[in-house]
Structure 1
């Protein structure tokens, strides 16, 4: 399958309409429709359900959409690396990261890099730890800002001099706001909102479940979230209490508040990259700057 045709399919999937996609691609609608039909015939799969005013992706079409995004992203990344010159280092650095105030440590280094190399661009791809590691494994990002114990045979890592403390976002109508800190028993009968990262054994799941002292099926889990901002809206609407890192959501003057967990639980962030990673010049410069900044020796990439 040609990259050109992959781009055609991805544009149709994103636009949800052949007319708009054809206009964006500067093709006639019959030509575009024929190209997509050729893919379906080549693989013997129906990728799109064609309705009068829209298209709907089948399961196979959704799979191809995800793979097309990954493939075209890798192509774009590779082209940028190949075009980077020796004299003027430039290019794109992609960092996968979850939500943490300590991510500012990484961005401080990015700022310093930009002062010396203004043609280096940084792209932050949000996601929980599990998603970030998958993207790292597939080569869709250069670095991951993650937590937990990583497989040393697959990843190199650089510890950051920071800690995140776990706590709970609570609606001020909840009686728990009278407490200065929250113990496990305080949450056993409370409606809880958990992030995917909270539930992942490879990041924080085991530690938090051990702290809670009960299996998930015995807790009142009312929802989950990927971004804490969205969870904070759920807390405001009294849908539950959200277990999360401190200081991500500004609760000043708000109808929600934050209370730390007791006994205290903390997590230490790290920067990870694939073992034997072949870095672009821009990514290599960034890694060396991180290592120098934090005075931490890490395994060779």
Structure 2
């Protein structure tokens, strides 16, 4: 399985058209078609099926797309890491997966500090729930992760961020609950709720207790901004951290904290026995000083 052929496959999957993909990659359409057919033979699975106007991925193709993206990302990252070894000046890329939180301001301070001393370091930030983030961290696709759940100390080293995120509900100002100073579990039992998948399984059961099974969850999501748009349109009540949504006086939305209070801790984690580049080493030392 060649990296070049995986690039062909991903471009065809992205465009849904082999001819356009071939043009973008400056190869002939017969060459790309043959390479993809050879890849299907090698894997023993059909990767695309034809529709009237395009091609689309089969279930096997969907699986390969996810794996191919990881493989090519890791290949590119490895090349960049080795190139940075030849530089006299510390340079290179640092991949960081981050939870959504206003408390990642410490990360901004770290980057600003390093821009003065090591301006050739480039930072790549990625978002995702903790399960997917840690899976990619385990594969070496990320150098660090900033997570909002307890750390498996047998697998990861960690630093504690000395700030907590406070949970609450974002809702329209014309909602009846918007008149409340805080929200209690019983207030939400019959309400349409929107929440991240991770929080639904890991955080909210601590607060709702036995009532979790009776919740009316109308949407699960990854990005708080998308949830805020749905809340603004009146789809439901968004459970999220304080500070992630604009609830200023001019906003149609407001934030009400949960009572009893529910908070979540934040950690910077990395794999045990991880071999860092020089850029990764100086980043880690700077984070330790800041925290």
Give the TM-score normalised by the residue count of structure 2.
0.96
Matched, 1:6 2:2: no
Match of 1:118 in 2: 119
State the shift of 1:82 in Å: 0.6
Deviation at 1:86, TM superposition (A): 5.0
Deviations 1:139-172 (A, max 9, x none): 1111111022221110110011211111100122
Deviation at 1:52, TM superposition (A): 4.8
Structure 2 partner of 1:241: 237
Deviations 1:110-141 (A, max 9, x none): 11112111111001111112221111111111
Deviation at 1:68, TM superposition (A): 0.5
1:293 paired with 2:290, answer yes
SS of 1:95 mapped into structure 2: strand
Is this contact kept in 1: 2:102–2:244, CA < 8 A? yes
Q: Which residue of 2 aligns with 1:261?
A: 258
Q: For residue 299 of structure 1, what is the aligned residue in structure 2?
A: none
Count of aligned pairs? 289
Where do 4+ consecutive residues of structure 1 move more than 6 Å?
none
Match of 1:172 in 2: 173
Partner of 1:53: 53
Distance 1:21 1:28 in 2: 10
Structure 1 residue 255 displacement after superposition? 1.5
- Residue 83 of structure 1 pairs with residue 83 of structure 2: yes
Distance 1:161 1:86 in 2: 35
CA distance in 2, matches of 1:216, 1:12: 43
Quick one: distance in 2 between partners of 1:225 and 1:43? 33
Note the aligned Cα RMSD (angstroms): 1.3
Mapped to 2, the partners of 1:161 and 1:265 lie a distance apart of 16
Question: In the TM superposition, what is the alpha-carbon distance from 1:200 to its structure 2 partner?
Answer: 3.5
Q: Are residues 1:283 and 2:284 paired?
A: no
Which segment is superposed worse, 211-220 or 68-77?
A: 211-220
Kept in 1, the 8 Å contact 2:146–2:268? The answer is yes
Structure 1: gaps spanning 5 or more residues: 295-301
Residue equivalent to 1:107: 108
Report the 3-state secondary structure (helix = DSSP H, G, I; strand = E; otherwise coil) of the residue aligned with 2:41: helix
1:82 is paired with a residue of what secondary structure?
Answer: helix
Q: Hey, what's the Cα distance between the residues in 1 that align with 2:156 and 2:120? A: 28
The CA deviation string for residues 177-225 of structure 1, in whole angstroms up to 9 with x for no partner, is 1101111111112111111120233xx3xxx213113343211111111
**Cα-to-partner distance string for 1:3-41 (whole Å, 9 max, x where unaligned):** 111111111111221121101111010111010011112
Deviation at 1:239, TM superposition (A): 1.4
Q: Does the 8 Å contact 2:246/2:253 carry over to 1? A: no
Separation of aligned partners in 2, 1:99 and 1:124:
11
Q: CA deviation at 1:240?
A: 1.1
What SS is found at the alignment partner of 1:263?
Answer: coil
2-structure distance, mates of 1:40, 1:131: 27
Query: In 2 relative to 1, CA 155–266 (structure 1 residues): closer, same or farther, beyond 3 Å?
Result: same
2-side partners of 1:290 and 1:273: how far apart? 12
User: Which residue of structure 2 lines up, in the alignment, with residue 297 of structure 1?
Assistant: none
Q: Secondary structure at the match of 2:210?
A: coil
- Superposition deviation, residue 56 in structure 1: 0.2
Give the aligned partner of residue 218 of structure 2: 222
The equivalent residue for 1:298 is: none
5+ residue gaps, structure 2, are none
